[in-house]
Amino acid sequence: MRVMTRPIDGQKPGTSGLRKKTKLFMSDGYLENFIQSVFDATGGATGRTYVVGGDGRYFNDSAAQVILKMAAANGAKRVIVGRNALLSTPAASHLIRLNRTDGGLILSASHNPGGPDEDFGVKFNTANGGPAPEAVTEAIFARTGEIREYFVADDNDVDLSRIGTQQIGGMEVSVIDPVADYAALMESLFDFDKIRAMFAGGFRMRFDAMCAVTGPYAREILERRLGAEPGTVVNAEPLPDFGGLHPDPNPTWARALMDEMFGPDAPDFGAASDGDGDRNMVVGRGIYVSPSDSLAVLAANARLAPGYRAGLKGVARSMPTSAAVDRVAAALGIAAYETPTGWKFFGNLLDAGRATLCGEESFGAGSDHVREKDGLWAVLLWLNILAERKESVAEILNAHWRLFGRNYYSRHDYEALSVEVATGVMGGLRGKLAGLPGQIVEGMKVIAADDFAYTDPVDGSVARGQGLRVVFEGGSRLVMRLSGTGTEGATLRLYLERFVAGPDGLGDAVQEALAPMIRAAEALAGIRTATGREGPDVIT
């Protein structure tokens, strides 16, 4: 059935797909226009195969039905969809690759809350399993500005609770177990026997799935296959509103896990994941592991896991992520790449075999096993390392810092600012950058300052305006950028990093260790003055 439509403003994919208020997504033609634009901008759906699934948030199931009907009406050959339209983002990426499909549509607003008054999102991934690169998302956006019609099959809903093959408007729909192929991939990368033996020996863990999509994956892998005590995985049932939780695995939103890990009789290891399962937070007994440190430790120890025995080809991190992993790469004699924020920038490096491990400060880590970050993968690599080293998380981290030095690191977010104020603060600092090198700020000498631009070493594409950075002598840095994933107003992110070599005596009070950086940021950018805020809304 052909439906006449008109372009809808603002359907511009951000850092990670199109993310908007759920009600907007549910409004007349909104989802349909975007999906049709994806098909149109990528050469049409005729004869193609896709993977479809999402994180189970409110509207996930109805949106999946719309997409199936649209894929059918656009002539697609087959869609592989997770049971009940559930698929974690890394599992979707794996299925795209495993089945050599033409791409996938992932329904998620990641770590943003879900529900009728919260957020929804759609992300298009290409045949390599990764988020569509900018050239593709720009073509999709351009198409949303021209669209006049969309196609949707006039058919009944598919029964997505039933595993097996069904037909809709001449298209095959394969409803699959969302966990099975992903779990098999994890078994191929990690030493499950060793991890199982560690659990059998009394190792205790808590995994907070935050009522989001990772629950079924974590239960199957940690409890059933690895023998972790039943109940290890909490908040394991994916719920449309994530049980009212904010499914963002960080010390603020995963408070219960933090309290348990810092409380009496804490388990040996704690972890949490986000709405769609691509983010992770790991915590040891009484010690928090910052994502940038986690990436560095994973890189330094990856060879302990069977899937990485041959060593790493290189590592990549987003620009705001701390440089901790760079020094591991230097010690290993491998390349370290610095990319703009967003997983899509890692795709070419992974495809070209230049990098094996990638990570971001925003609780994202992953490898070339898929083309997305992967929360449970990071947790399993940690477990494999713990099983091999037979040391605590604290011992491993402290040994790492002794060897490589420590990058004290924190991100300060100022949320829901007016766009004028946020762009004003950015503009203010941008205007000063050229004059900064050589200046002394808070007793520290600036050695470089720029608006980060990235030239992809594989295809030569250039991404500009990727964040303001001020680099000080000795490796400390300030970075400032605007979020590209928010759905309301503007979020200003200030990234603070202070490098201290060797045993430093600064202790674990990160915000105190960063005090000079915080003062330098205020002196240079005047965020508090401009926003009238006492301090950041979220500190990670």
**498 interface partner picked from ligand G1P, Zn ion, none, CB below 5 to 8 A per type:** none
* Least distance in angstroms from the C-beta of 125 to ligand G1P: 13
Instruction: Provide the binding-site residues for ligand G1P, judged by CB under 6 A.
Output: 15-16, 110, 318, 341-343, 360, 362, 364, 483-485, 493
Q: How far is CA 229 from the centre of its chain?
A: 28
* Least distance in angstroms from the C-beta of 372 to Zn ion: 9
Question: What are 333's two structure tokens?
Answer: 């004699």
Q: Is 55 in the site for Zn ion (CB under 5 A)?
A: no
Contacts of 134 (CB under 8 A, 6+ apart): 344, 461, 463
Choice between 21 and 204, CB closer to Zn ion = 21
Q: At 478, which helix (H) or strand (E)?
A: strand 477-482
* Least distance in angstroms from the C-beta of 109 to Zn ion: 8
Q: Is 372 in the site for Zn ion (CB under 5 A)?
A: no
Compute the residue count for the chain: 540
**276 interface partner picked from Zn ion, ligand G1P, none, CB below 5 to 8 A per type:** Zn ion
Choice between 274 and 368, CB closer to Zn ion = 274
Residues 87-126, one symbol each (x = binds Zn ion by CB under 5 A, - = not), give -----------------------x----------------
Q: How far apart are CA 494 and CA 473, in angstroms?
A: 19
Q: How far apart are CA 381 and CA 399, in angstroms?
A: 18
Residues 385-424, one symbol each (x = binds Zn ion by CB under 5 A, - = not), give ----------------------------------------
Choice between 216 and 320, CB closer to ligand G1P = 320
**362 interface partner picked from Zn ion, ligand G1P, none, CB below 5 to 8 A per type:** ligand G1P
Contacts of 449 (CB under 8 A, 6+ apart): 432, 433, 434, 436, 437, 468, 469, 470, 471
Residue 453 DSSP one-character state: -
Is 437 buried (19+), middle (13-18) or exposed (0-12) by CB count in 10 A?
Answer: middle
**366 interface partner picked from Zn ion, ligand G1P, none, CB below 5 to 8 A per type:** none
Write the Ramachandran bin of 214: left for phi over 0, alpha for psi from -120 to 50, otherwise beta: alpha
Spell 76-112 as b/e; 16+ CB within 10 A means b.
bbbbbbbbbbbbbbbbbbbbbbbbebbbbbbbbbbbb
Catalytic pick among 16, 37, 88, 110? 110
Choice between 56 and 467, CB closer to ligand G1P = 467
The reply to whether 110 belongs to the active site is yes
Contacts of 352 (CB under 8 A, 6+ apart): 458
Residues 215-244, one symbol each (x = binds Zn ion by CB under 5 A, - = not), give ------------------------------
Binding residues (CB under 5 A) for Zn ion: these are: 110, 274, 276, 278-279
Residues taking part in catalysis: 110
